[in-house]
Amino acid sequence: MKTPLATSLRPDNLKKFFGQEKIIGKNSWLRLAIEKDQVPSLIFWGPPGSGKTTLAFIIAKETKAEFISISATDSGKKDLKEIVDRAESSKRLGVKTILFIDEIHRWNKAQQDALLPQIENGVLILIGATTENPSFSINSALLSRLKVVILETLNEDDLLKIINRGAKELGLKIDKKIVKLIAHLGQGDARRSLNILESAIESGKELSTSLIKEIINKPQLNYDKKGDQHYDIISALHKSMRGGDAKASVYWTARMIEAGEDPLFIARRMIRFASEDIGLANNSALMIANNTYDACRNIGLPECSVILAHCAIYLAKSPKSIAAYKMYNITIEEIRDSGNLSVPIHLRNASSKLMKDLGYGKDYKYSPEADDSEQTYLPAGLRNKKFKNLKIK
């Protein structure tokens, strides 16, 4: 089976590693730890193609440790036991073992817990890689024993260096415009950039910008419906609408649609926004957001995309009021503080003779037909309490 170009060109030392200057640059703590051979167990958290696997491989090479790489998608506790036996034998010979687990977030709690004694006893140095937020995807016991290292999406300058290095090692001369186009289409992902280059080479055609565009019809957007991009981009949409920026609101809406997000998810968040951020300042916003949801459900994509854009612009441009949102949250705090207060007897439902005999509903004034200016509606303990100066307009 042919080795992918991205794998065969993987650098084996820090001099050939491009990008991630913040974490691996001169005098950074990780670089110093590598140089002093004092690398602890780590979690590399970053987007695809940012260098997680490569950096783990380089650390093993630089520290002369045995490097064992597995993927959490096709391994488990049985594989770990075999690795531990091997690592214990290596340790007796004075050789350290670095276990790299790609997509470690896919291991369940029991599998992750099995790593704890091996880390504590120094049998293994663990380097886990994840695209998910470790706070949510790694159990707390394991996470407390690891240092989290955040890798950023590579910029185009880094990708230019990676592509040029790959071309040089392959003995190719590539036009600068083509290299720049590949770097742009790589979308911050080194593996993707090299895959584009590999596909172009394997096509047997002359390398050209038209060939590259033929290989990649449109940029692949980094987006995971269950991952951080999912939450980061919907957060960006919410905050853009809150800030009244219609252009940004449509941009983030379109990003999600083009990346394959469920339009009903976007519409549901717009409904929430209509009450949370617009509320009483424009009651029509809730109706429009709800109609947007119905329209998306009825006609689906691609037709509903413009409806979502329409709604995003309307919500962004609408006046804002958070009175309903604030009052609900303040009320929840009060309920948690004051507990299960009794319903005033005049507000209770007298659904039987016994309840009527007990006074349920007695002295209740029917508001449409009687003066109820003196009637109270809150439990006795809250009647004269001010709710943090909240004003409802």
* CA–CA distance, 164 with 159 (Å, rounded to integer): 8
Task: For residue 3, tell me if it sits in a domain.
Answer: no
Task: For residue 269, tell me if it sits in a domain.
Answer: yes
- Domain span at residue 366? 341-382
Longest dimension (CA), the chain: 97
* CA–CA distance, 286 with 280 (Å, rounded to integer): 10
Count of beta carbons in the 10 Å neighbourhood of residue 141: 12
pLDDT of residue 223: 52
Task: For residue 297, tell me if it sits in a domain.
Answer: yes
Q: 69 φ, ψ to 5°?
A: -120, 130
> Is the same domain home to 55 and 113?
yes
* CA–CA distance, 39 with 47 (Å, rounded to integer): 22
> Is the same domain home to 211 and 294?
no
pLDDT at 387 over 90: no
CATH number at residue 136: 3.40.50.300
- The answer to whether 98 touches 49, Cβ cutoff 8 Å, is no
> Is the same domain home to 209 and 267?
no
Q: How many structural domains is the chain composed of?
A: 4
Strand order in the sheet with 147-150: 66-71, 97-102, 125-130, 42-45, 147-150
In sequence order, what DSSP letters do the residues of 28-47 get, joined into one string? -HHHHHHHTT----EEEE--
**pLDDT 10s digits, 318-328:** 999 999 999 99
Task: Report the predicted TM-score, pTM, of the whole model to 2 decimal places.
Answer: 0.62
> Is the same domain home to 188 and 285?
no
pLDDT of residue 220: 55
**pLDDT 10s digits, 105-141:** 989 889 999 999 999 999 999 999 998 888 888 999 9
Task: For residue 13, tell me if it sits in a domain.
Answer: no
- HSE of 54 in the Cβ direction (CA atoms, 13 Å)? 26
> Is the same domain home to 206 and 267?
no
* CA–CA distance, 362 with 17 (Å, rounded to integer): 80
* CA–CA distance, 184 with 301 (Å, rounded to integer): 28
| Averaged pLDDT for residues 210-215 | 86
Task: For residue 41, tell me if it sits in a domain.
Answer: yes
> Is the same domain home to 240 and 270?
yes
* CA–CA distance, 219 with 320 (Å, rounded to integer): 35
